Amino acid sequence: MNREVDAVELDFLLRFPGQTGVTSPVGFLSDQAWGGIKALTSMEGFCNLDRDIEGSAKSWKKFVESECPEKEKFPQEWKNKTALQRLCVMRAVRPDRMTYAMRDFVEEKLGSQYVAGRAPDFATSFEESGPATPMFFILSPGVDPLKDVENQGEKTSSRSPGCPHYVNFHS
């Protein structure tokens, strides 16, 4: 994969050195996004990106305003760009979708085993914990370890089943 990574494109992706003081000529892109487009236009492989967005504003607007643009085909010739180049454009026009776009990039380039979530074996984690090694749960949307905790508690607790003791450190 390293032969496919252009250093200038990677730098843009990581630092987003957009041009400042520019005004977006299209209503669906912010001035900051347009600054990113202008910066991309100065790079090899992105010639005329700004003109294409202005000239095909309808298709670009549909793409940019899509709920999941990372799943959509890029307008015009931009769908034929490398995965890294498409990420650069996504970074400029929809930075809020970069986590999902990066996930798709990793899956495409390295394989699904690098993005598939693995549920940790709670019993094994519990065995590895102890008074000096507590377990902490960092929750994210859609994750609820409560059922695993309750099941483990019923297996190992001297309390009566159905009478759990909860401690919540959330303030």
Do 73 and 58 sit in the same domain of this protein? Answer: yes
Could you please report the per-residue DSSP string of 105-167? HHHHHH-GGGTS-----HHHHHHH-BTTB-------TT--THHHHHHHHHHH-SSPTT-----
Do 71 and 102 sit in the same domain of this protein? Answer: yes
Do 65 and 97 sit in the same domain of this protein? Answer: yes
Instruction: Tell me the pLDDT of the chain averaged across its residues.
Output: 88
Name the token pair of 145. 């370890």
What is the model's pLDDT at position 123?
83
Do 88 and 148 sit in the same domain of this protein? Answer: no
60, 109, 43: which is closest to 82 by C-alpha?
109
Per-residue pLDDT tens for 115-166? 887 767 888 888 888 888 888 888 877 778 888 888 887 787 756 656 666 6
Residue with tokens 């709670």: 122
Do 36 and 95 sit in the same domain of this protein? Answer: yes
What is the model's pLDDT at position 164?
61
Which of 76, 93, 114 terminates a domain? The answer is 114
What is the model's pLDDT at position 158?
57
What is the number of domains present in the chain? 2
**What residues make up the domain containing 140?**
119-171
Do 92 and 158 sit in the same domain of this protein? Answer: no
Per-residue pLDDT tens for 34-49? 999 999 999 999 999 9
